[in-house]
Structure 1
C-alpha cells in the first residue's frame, strides 16, 4: 500500500485551500507562497505539482462523466434528477454485465479477474446497487414531497384569492362553496 503523500497528510482545510486556489487559476508558485503564509513549509513544488495533476485528472473524469450523464438525461426527457438516479443504476448494472460477459468470452477479463475470489469486491458492488436503488427511491419520495408542498401552497393562495373575489362579487356562501369545490376541489 502506498504511503500518503505530504499533501494528503495536511489538514483538510489546507487541502481545500489548495483546491480553491488552483480552481481560481493560481500557479503552483502562487499556491506554494500561500502555503508558506499559512506556515506550511514541508511541501515541495513537485509534490504540489503531482497533487494538482491528480486533482485535474479526477476533475476531468468527473466532468466527462457528468457530460455523458447530462446528455443521456436530456435524451430521456423530464424529471432529470429521477432520470439521473435511474441512469446511474443502469450504468452500474451495465458494468456488472460487462464484467460477466468478459469472463465468458475471449475478451480480456481483467475486471472480472479482479473480482474472482474476491467476495468483498462483489459485496461492495451489490451494496453500491442497493445504495443507488435506495437513493432513487429517496429521490422519488423527495420529488413527491416537493410537489405536495407546492400544490398545498398554490391551493392556499388560490383559495384566498377566490374568497376575496367572491366577497367582492357579493356571492352567497352556498354559491361560493360550490365554486370552491368545483374549481379547487376544496370543501
Structure 2
C-alpha cells in the first residue's frame, strides 16, 4: 500500500512541476512574442519616418513620440471595480492623504499621478458602469498592477463583482492583484425581516 502512495506522490509532484514549467514557458513565450511585435512595429515606424518629406515636421514628431511610446510603454496601476464601489474616493484619499467621499460616478477614465522625487506612479481608473466594463481588458496590457475595489456593504452585487474580477484575472493571470473591500467603515443597513 505504501508503494502506491509513494508512486502517487511522485506522479503528483511530476504533474505539479510540469504545470509550473508550462506556465513559465507560456509566460516567457508570450513575452518573447510581444518583444518581436514591438521590434517589428519600431522597424515599421522607422520606415514611415524615412518616407515622409522633411517639411512634414508634425508627422515626424508624432512618429517619434509613437516610437518612443512603443519602446518604453507607460506603466500604471489599473483601478477597476463596479460602479459605486468607491474607486474615485480611494484614489482621492491616496492623493490627498485624507478621506473624501465622492458621489459622482466616473464616466470614462480618471487618471491620478503621484510624484515623489524621481519616483512616479500613475493610477488609471476606468469607470465601472455596465457600458464601460467591456473596455477594461484593453487597459490590462499596460498595467503594472491591478487594484480591484469592491463595495463591501452591497451584498446583492458581490456575485457580480466576483464574476467581473474572475473575467479580468482570466485575461491576464500574471498581473499582481489587490482586492480592496471598500466602505467597511460605513454602517450596514439593517436586514429586512418579513
**Does TM-score exceed 0.5, indicating one fold?**
no
Name which one, 1 or 2, has greater alpha-carbon Rg: 1
Larger RCO (alpha carbons 8 Å, 6+ apart): 2
